[in-house]
Amino acid sequence: MPSETITTTGEVLHVYSDRAYQVSLPNGKKVIAHPAKSMFPRKDEIIPGARVALEMTPFDFEKARIADVL
C-alpha cells in the first residue's frame, strides 16, 4: 500500500470465505476486508465478533486489509 495508509480497527461481522470478510468500522460503515499474507497462519482467529486492525488506502474506502487480530 502507498505511504498514505489509513489504520483503524473494526469488528468482523460476516465471513464470506477465508479471503473475504465483512467488517464494521467504528463509524458504522461496512467494508470488505481481506487478510494480509502475514495473517494467513492466523486466519482461524478471524471469526464474527473478532476485533481486527485494518489498513485502508485513502483512494478506496470500500476495501481494507486485515493487518492483525486484536
Do the domain assignments include residue 45?
yes
Asked if pLDDT for residue 1 goes beyond 50, the answer is: no
Helices and strands (H, E) in the chain, number of each type: 0, 5
| 10 alpha carbon, distance to own chain's centre | 7
Which pTM does this prediction carry?
Answer: 0.89
Domain count, the chain: 1
* Residue 64 backbone zone (phi > 0: left; psi -120 to 50: alpha; other: beta): beta
What CATH number is given to the structural domain containing 63? 2.40.50.140
Confirm if 33 and 64 have CB atoms less than 8 A apart: yes
Do the domain assignments include residue 1?
no
- The whole-angstrom separation of Cα 38 and Cα 45 is 13
Do the domain assignments include residue 29?
yes
For residue 28, give the amino acid letter: G
Asked if pLDDT for residue 66 goes beyond 60, the answer is: yes
Question: Where in the sequence is the domain holding 33, given as residue range(s)?
Answer: 6-69
